Amino acid sequence: MRINRTTFHDTVLAGVVAAASVALFLLYDTDRLAAEGLLVEGMRAPDAPGTALVVLACLPVAARRRWPLGALCAGLAPETLLTVSGYGAGLSGLSGLVLLYSVASNRGLAVALAGLLVTVVTYAFGAMAGPISVGLSDHVVATMVLVAVWGAGRSLRLRRAYLEELRDRAARLERAHAADTRAARAEERARIARELHDVVAHHVSVMTVQAAAARKVLAADPDLAREALSAIEHTGRMAMTEMRNIVGVLRTDARAELGPQPGMLDLPALVEQMREAGLPTTLLVEGEPRPLPAGVNLAAYRLVQEGLTNSLRHAGSGAKAVVTVRHEPRELDVRVADDGRGADGPARRSGHGLVGIRERVALYGGILNIGPRPGGGFEVRARFPLKDGQ
């Protein structure tokens, strides 16, 4: 059977206190005290009943942490009998101090105060009922000792509670930090996924259309096919460069080739690329252009890029696209519209790209509208709110 270490330690302490108390109790011989000039009037000589009471007063120390208040009451009873009977108690009073300390350090304030009150009342009763007479100063010192021991116990309990609160707070902070880290990682993964999709979907769509055009004119017009293949090569290199820059941030053993993110100033080059891919595209800018927040600048560019990519893939041959950018005092309005198969294409245009666009627009508090146009075709429109001065 496994013995609890705390119970074992308390049992050993009870044995040590009992042995020391019995030894000193037997040394309280009235003849020896009288020879040393100490007051022995009314004091009984040590005997077997007195020794038994000393042992009984010390045994409850073994349960001082399991039942502190009960052990205190059990120890005070034989100690009071010793005092009332006129024995010299020796160190049996030490067990009462240990038990009082245990109550103060292991129980709440109400129980601790009850233990102090019981101890003081019991001491006062023994002092009044016992045959041995001592001075007032001795009673004051004894009372001060009781209060000091009780205060030390309460101080230890408060310190333990404070340390426990610090541990709990540290654990809560660690859990919160872990949760924040997981959220940051998830957000970063979503951001990288959006960037990769936008880059890959756009460039691969352009390359697919250009490859199809090159295949059709390969035999009839080799020069035109060669130009289409050159455009495919250029587009592929651009895609690889952008993907390398995005994926580079995931590597810890290499430094990514950093460069500026695309923005609204890059729209003319994007529109020209779509024209070369076979989608006639027009860019209209209304209002006075001004510097935009970096996040809004990138989100608006990606919206135009995704909108034109979807038009290139789904609008059909002969379709045209119009990109309209309207700069207003407190809003940026971006719209991509085509005149292709608007009624037949919505179900085919609900991929991951538009989901990423929704996330981007929502991130900056914008309003997004996606759907077929009344007169035919498809439209992607977003309005980004801007603060004053932006």
| In the chain, where the domains are located | 5-134, 278-390
Least confident of 32-46, 74-88, 110-124, 134-148: 32-46
Check residue 63 and report its DSSP letter.
G
| Rounded alpha-carbon distances, angstroms, from residue 313 to 125, 208, 267, 347, 353 | 100, 9, 19, 13, 13
Helix (H, G, I), strand (E, B) or coil at 381: strand
Between 263 and 196, the higher pLDDT residue? 263
pLDDT of residue 140: 83
- Give the chain's length: 390
Mean pLDDT in residue range 35-59: 72
Check residue 43 and report its DSSP letter.
P
pLDDT of residue 213: 72
pLDDT of residue 132: 66
Q: Which two tokens stand for residue 295?
A: 């996040």
pLDDT of residue 130: 65
CATH topology of domain 278-390: Heat Shock Protein 90 (3.30.565)
pLDDT of residue 22: 79
Query: For residue 207, is pLDDT > 80?
Result: no
Overall pTM > 0.85: no
Judged on CB neighbours under 10 Å (0-12, 13-18, 19+), 156 is middle
pLDDT band at 283 (very low <50, low <70, confident <90, very high): very high
Question: What integer best gives the mean pLDDT of the chain?
Answer: 79
Which of 149-163, 187-201, 350-364 shows the highest mean pLDDT? 149-163
Per-residue pLDDT reduced to its tens digit, 52-111 = 888 888 888 888 888 888 888 888 888 888 877 777 554 457 788 888 888 888 888 888
Query: Which stretches within the chain are classed as H helix?
Result: 5-27, 30-35, 48-58, 68-85, 92-106, 109-129, 136-217, 222-248, 267-276, 294-314, 352-363
| Rounded alpha-carbon distances, angstroms, from residue 300 to 208, 218, 259, 353, 378 | 24, 37, 18, 13, 18
Per-residue pLDDT reduced to its tens digit, 326-357 = 998 889 999 999 988 754 544 444 556 677 78
With both helix axes pointing from N to C terminus, report the angle between 136-217 and 222-248 in degrees, rounded to the nearest 10: 170
Q: Which two tokens stand for residue 270?
A: 């994007």
User: What is the distance between the alpha carbons of residues 291 and 364, in angstroms, rounded to a whole number?
Assistant: 16
Strands ordered across the beta sheet of 367-372: 281-286, 321-328, 331-338, 378-385, 367-372
pLDDT of residue 256: 46
Least confident of 175-179, 234-238, 255-259: 255-259
User: What is the distance between the alpha carbons of residues 124 and 137, in angstroms, rounded to a whole number?
Assistant: 14
Mean pLDDT in residue range 240-246: 68
Nearest to 29 by CA among 14, 5, 46: 46
Judged on CB neighbours under 10 Å (0-12, 13-18, 19+), 57 is buried
